[in-house]
Amino acid sequence: MLLLLSKLKYLLIVFKMGAFGPTTLTMLISLVIYAGIFGWGYAIGFIALLLVHELGHVLVARMEGLPTSAPVFIPFFGALIMMRQQPRGSVAEAALAAGGPVLGSLGALACLGLYAVTRQPLMLALAYVGFFINLFNLIPMSPLDGGRILGAVSRWAYVIGVPILLFLILTHFNPFLLLIVALGVFDAWQRFRSPLQAWYDSASPVARWTIAFGYLTLVLLLVFGMNSTHALLAGVRGAAGLG
């Protein structure tokens, strides 16, 4: 019991850190879990990529004057921030949602650059998973970023990602995917049921085309990044096998 109490004092220190206490605690929990599965190097890099993604959302939210919580990490699910105020229109929400994948993609690109300098396969693996994380988040269905980005273009963006996620569930089952589908269907039902026409009309035709073009460009760049890093990883593994 005394040993347990001595350990609990460290948890108290974490929570006394204020807004960043939950971030620190959940980050450490996720880090330990991932390290036990993938090793410390990969776990630290993976957590860093998730943090960069969430900080992209936080950065845009601050630019728009929207208060948010600090990032919270959930093992095997990723990380999230909580909005304390709704964006002022669909264009603002699209910008807020895009902040994560944009900055997260730059984080993955930085890993690829570090691989070019160090030739460490770990950096290449992190670049690949970084591209994947951000591409997955661009699936066009809320609560994923893709649904909230394309939601400024059309409300149907909140549901057209359902077949994609159902395919992923059938081919790579994960209970968290079921949760995302359930949340997405509920959110879509709420948005079609509520009188939010003024929300969608707040985006001009030019803004809608710009958002759609930016979204498609980012998707294509991430697909290219994934394919390129996958080919490089295959080459590295092949060379290691020959050695």
Give the domain range for residue 43. 19-242
On whether residue 1 sits in a domain, the answer given is no
On whether residue 2 sits in a domain, the answer given is no
On whether residue 210 sits in a domain, the answer given is yes
**CA-CA distance, 107 to 226, in Å (whole number)?**
14
Residue 236's pLDDT band (boundaries 50, 70, 90)?
A: confident
Angle between helices 162-171 and 175-193 (to 10 degrees): 170
- Please give the average per-residue pLDDT across 200-226, as a whole number: 89
On whether residue 6 sits in a domain, the answer given is no
What percent of the residues of the chain are helix, what percent strand, and what percent coil, each to the nearest 5? 75, 5, 20
On whether residue 58 sits in a domain, the answer given is yes
Instruction: Please state, rounded to an integer, the average pLDDT across all residues of the chain.
Output: 83
Looking at residue 198, what is its pLDDT? 56
| Secondary structure E strands in 12-53 | none
On whether residue 123 sits in a domain, the answer given is yes
* Nearest one of 124, 122, 68 to 96, comparing CA atoms: 68
- For 30-63, the pLDDT digits (tens) are 899 999 999 999 999 999 999 999 999 999 999 8
Looking at residue 186, what is its pLDDT? 82
Q: What percent of the chain is predicted at pLDDT more than 90?
A: 41
Looking at residue 130, what is its pLDDT? 96
The structural domain count of the chain equals: 1
- For 60-89, the pLDDT digits (tens) are 999 888 888 888 888 887 888 887 777 888
**CA-CA distance, 156 to 214, in Å (whole number)?**
18
Instruction: Calculate the CA 49 to chain-centre distance.
Output: 9
Looking at residue 44, what is its pLDDT? 94
On whether residue 226 sits in a domain, the answer given is yes
Residue 64 annotated among the catalytic residues of the structure:
no
On whether residue 14 sits in a domain, the answer given is no
Catalytic residue among 54, 93, 145, 187: 54
